[in-house]
Amino acid sequence: MSLLSFILVMLTALLFAGAGVFYVQRTHKKNFENRQIRRDLAHRMSGQRLPKMLQALGIGLSTYLYKAPLKQVDQVIKNCENCEATDKCDEKLKIPELNPEDIDFCPSRDALAQYSRSRRVRN
């Protein structure tokens, strides 16, 4: 192998190593930002009925926060914040186990149904 080939191979290897380091750093930064967004969403949820609704539907709070897309979680929280059916919600939350069919009044029913206990049992 000539010196020129060796230098070319080494430069190519350095280029790939640099690209790998860049990719890992970018991925780490994005994951950190998403974790922070999830923490903020969990904090926004804390004073609402949503955690109780998730529990009644058989959905773990942390499981939901990490499985559902962030935009969907944000929309569900907004729906809960702006909900006008709080009396119906309070009545239903007295029942320890709910199915998505039980909460027809909830604007987030379809979004939550895909993670519910009844969906997992059927599949």
pLDDT tens digits for 71-113? 999 999 999 999 888 898 989 888 888 888 888 899 999 999 9
Can you give the pLDDT at residue 63? 87
User: Under a CB-based contact definition with an 8 Å cutoff, are residues 50 and 79 in contact?
Assistant: no
Would the pTM of this model clear 0.85, i.e. be above it? no
| Residue 82 to residue 106: CA distance in whole angstroms | 11
Cα 59 to Cα 65: distance, rounded to the nearest angstrom: 10
pLDDT band at 46 (very low <50, low <70, confident <90, very high): confident
pLDDT attached to residue 96 = 86
